[in-house]
Structure 1
Amino acid sequence: MNLTVFGATGGIGQEIVRQALTAGHRVTAVVRDPARLTVTGDGLEVFRADLRDPEAVRPAVAGRDAVLSGLGARSREDAGVATRLTRTVLGALEAEGVRRLLVVSAGPVGPAPAGDGPLDRTVRRLVSALLKDVYADLREMEAELARSATDWTVVRPPRLQNKPLTGTYRTVVGGFPPRGRFIARADVAHAMLAMTDDPATVKQGVGVAY
């Protein structure tokens, strides 16, 4: 496939680029600072762009089979960035007629798993309170996607870890895996690539965790 990756210098974004190239896809990595992209390989195009301008981004998405985004806040101070930057991506996709879009959100933004015990519910409440502004941003981002004409998928992981790819995790379309507390960024990337051509995930939030 011919893919475009936004947030390509982030932890999940770089993993998406790396794994997509390994799988033989052609990848356009959209970055603000090319020096921060450590991934190389045949089939990689690095596209430098200002994500405040949908017109500047249109060439990066034109004719692509799918677009994957790891854009989001790196800290509480960055709250709001996910919605703002995703609006830019949506504007470019809709202008070019590209429909398939997968983005990263967060587990607490979606429905709570039915089988969680008291500890998991308490941790979820505490984390949601601590990252209130970040999760409000992600909820608005998800609302923007729902209003769009794209065939979107929102991937909602729990706490992220910098660990090697396992390829073994649980996914729940429209929900979240019970007692799912952690997942590696590499496995989130793996899940997103696997969902790219999965029609069951279109216009759905998908919980992913170990």
Structure 2
Amino acid sequence: MRLVVLGASGGLGREVVELALSEGHSIRAFVRDPASLADFGNSPYREGLSVVAGDVLDPGTLDGLFVEADAVISAIGSPGNGPSVVRTLGYRNVVDAMERQGAPMLAAASVAAVEPGVNPMALASAMTHRHLLKDVRGMEEVIEESNLDWVIVRAPRLTDDAPTGNYRFANRRPPLGGVMISRADMAEAMLSCLHGPGRRLGTIAVAY
């Protein structure tokens, strides 16, 4: 598949790029600083990987990004716990650009605590993360109102542990007892939603 990965230089984004390349996909990685992926393969980048500099908050940098893409995987995040519109406004720009450029499918990483009734301890404290959750809710609304095929993949706490392949899917909230998942397994779960018999659409959650 020809994939665009947004937020490719973050912890989850790098796992998505690494796994997708190992599976033979062609990757266009969208990052603010191309040097952040300079360690991927030989000079300047690994075969099958191209890197595009830009910012989802700047619609002009999205021009042409999604042309001929089969799908987009997004690991867009925002730093800190203060007020942010990175997700809400960033995804509005992304969705508009995808629809104009004909990219059909979006898989977006989200957080489990955005679902009402989910234990907020999955994100430590709902009060501490209230700005984050507001931004995430805005992001999900933008995606749900789009004309794309989409899947929102909610995760509880992400870790840097090795992949296990033992994660479980559930509808909207994490499976019973699921409080964490590694970024490596989250990346695999998101890729699995895009193709093959395990393809999924809608809002789902994943955890161990």
User: TM-score with structure 2 length normalisation?
Assistant: 0.90
Q: How does 1:88-127 map to 2 (within 5 A)?
A: 88-112=93-117, 121=119, 123=121, 127=125
User: Aligned residues: percent identity?
Assistant: 36
Decide whether the 8 Å contact of 1:58 with 1:93 is kept in 2: no
Supply the distance in 1 between the matched residues of 2:207 and 2:33 (Cα, whole angstroms).
30
C-alpha RMSD of matched pairs (Å): 1.9
Which residue identity lines up with residue 48 of structure 1 in the other structure?
A
Gaps of 5+ in 2: none
Supply the distance in 1 between the matched residues of 2:123 and 2:159 (Cα, whole angstroms).
20
Decide whether aligned partners of structure 1 residues 30 and 179 sit closer, same or farther in structure 2, where only a CA change above 3 A counts: same
Counterpart position of 1:189:
187
Counterpart position of 1:70:
75
Could you give the per-residue CA deviations for residues 109-151 of structure 1, whole angstroms, max 9, x where no partner exists? 12546xxxxxxx4735962222111011100100011111111
Which residue identity lines up with residue 207 of structure 1 in the other structure?
A
Decide whether the 8 Å contact of 1:112 with 1:176 is kept in 2: no
Larger relative helix fraction = 1
Supply the distance in 2 between the matched residues of 1:45 and 1:125 (Cα, whole angstroms).
33
Counterpart position of 1:116:
none
Could you give the per-residue CA deviations for residues 88-112 of structure 1, whole angstroms, max 9, x where no partner exists? 2112101112120011110111254
Pairing 1:20–2:25 present? no
Counterpart position of 2:151:
153
Residue 161 of structure 1 and its aligned partner are, at CA, apart by 0.6
Which residue identity lines up with residue 207 of structure 2 in the other structure?
A
Counterpart position of 1:45:
50
Pairing 1:59–2:58 present? no
User: TM-score with structure 1 length normalisation?
Assistant: 0.89
Counterpart position of 1:165:
163
Which residue identity lines up with residue 188 of structure 1 in the other structure?
M
The size of the alignment, in residue pairs, is: 202
Gaps of 5+ in 1: 114-120
